[in-house]
Amino acid sequence: MKLNHVIESQQFKVPRIMDLFDRANFMKKVVARGGSLDYHSKIMASLYYAPATRTRFSFEAAMMRLGGHVLSTEQAQEFSSAIEGERLEDTIRIVGNYCDVIVLRHSEEGGAKRAAKVSSVPIINAGDGSGGQHPTQALLDLYTIHNECHTIDGLSVAFIGALDNGRTARSLAYLLSKFERIKIYFIAPDEMQMKPDILEHLDEHNINYELANSTEGILENIDVLYMTRIDRERLVSKKINLDTYNIDKNVLRKLKKDAIILHPLPRSIEIAPEVDKDPRAAYFRQAQNGLYVRMALLSMLFDDE
């Protein structure tokens, strides 16, 4: 079936995911030999209702490496703030005239879905609201796991951080639920624990998971440690020990020799700089993979036309 809009990670089935990863491997080779591809007549519009420069650059570089062009704004809120009642739907209808794909970072959950309903060109959700999704991040996370661990089935994955508003952890959990013999640990203070909708989804897919307040007894068993941002202020206000959800040399000592550490970046205080030199620290490789996965995804959208 034709790939059209990219709205939420659960829309991807395993064969499509594996196709995408094959394409991403090809894109990696194209970039390595300093090449670019032949999508010269294609235009991508970057619509960011709030700045998210890393994600934006990753998408825009992907489009440029494909040979295409980019329309870009970090001030898309101007579309709506200046005019009373101006609607996202109108903006999408207009911008769709000027491009072949729209990458949308919207401030409200469900923004991408609303956009897709009226759009004449594919919409890629680049994050919608703090409780929404960020499916391309989840795809690049999974691609990194696949590349580094050479499998996805059978892995144990721990998510650490403020998981209640962790868009990336939510999106990746959906994707993991499509694979076999996965074990997931959600490690967070109770008040920041993963929300019930995801847990119910995992139950429905018979995914084995555990909730925990600390990494004790877990670090030794996992293959993937997925760190997410945690706000110092929020921890302090709840009188929670800052060290519980951070990683440093001591954590590294307990971690399996072939485990990997991921982080969607930017990080705050949750990963000490001393961790960067450890070969298991995969988060900068993960950021790099964003380029290949987004090139693959964009090319899929264009080729399927």
Residue 242 binding its own copies, by CB under 8 A:
no
Per-residue binding letters, 265-304, with its own copies (x by CB under 8 A): xxxxx---x----------x--xx-xx-------------
CA-based R_g, the chain, Å: 19
Q: What is the largest CA-CA distance in the chain?
A: 57
Site for its own copies in 89-118 (CB under 8 A): 90-91, 93-95, 97-99
32-47 burial, b at 16+ Cβ within 10 Å, e below that, comes to eeeeebebeebebbbb
For tokens 């609303």, what's the residue? 114
Check: CB of residue 3 under 8 Å from CB of residue 304: yes
Among 140, 80, 70, which Cα is nearest to 108's?
A: 80
Interstrand relation of 156-160 and 123-128 (parallel, antiparallel or unpaired): unpaired
Q: Exactly one of 65, 114, 146, 170 binds its own copies (CB under 8 A); which one?
A: 65
In terms of residues, how long is the chain? 305
Closest separation in Å from C-beta 144 to its own copies: 13
Place of tokens 């991508």: 44
DSSP string, 126-173: EEESTTS--HHHHHHHHHHHHHHHS--TT-EEEEES-GGG-HHHHHHH
Q: Which stretch binds its own copies (CB under 8 A): 19-27, 58-66, 202-210, 238-246?
A: 58-66
Element (H, E) at 101: strand 101-106
Closest CB 209 distance from its own copies, rounded Å: 28
**Minimum distance, C-beta of residue 61 to its own copies, in the bound complex (Å):** 4
- The residue among 55 and 125 lying less far from its own copies, judged by its C-beta, is 55
181 or 285: CB nearest its own copies:
285
- Selected from 14, 16, 22, 83, the binder of its own copies by CB under 8 A is 83
| Part of the chain binding its own copies (CB under 8 A), chosen from 9-17, 62-70, 128-136, 172-180 | 62-70
Stretch of 1-9, 60-68, 109-117, 126-134 lying at the interface with its own copies (CB under 8 A): 60-68
CB closer to its own copies, 23 vs 28: 28
Residues 6+ apart with CB under 8 A from 281: 261, 271, 275
Nearest CB to its own copies, comparing residues 91 and 215: 91
Q: Which residues bind its own copies (CB under 8 A)?
A: 34-36, 40-41, 43, 45, 51, 53-54, 56-58, 60-61, 64-65, 67, 69, 71-76, 78-79, 82-87, 90-91, 93-95, 97-99, 229, 231-233, 265-269, 273, 284, 287-288, 290-291
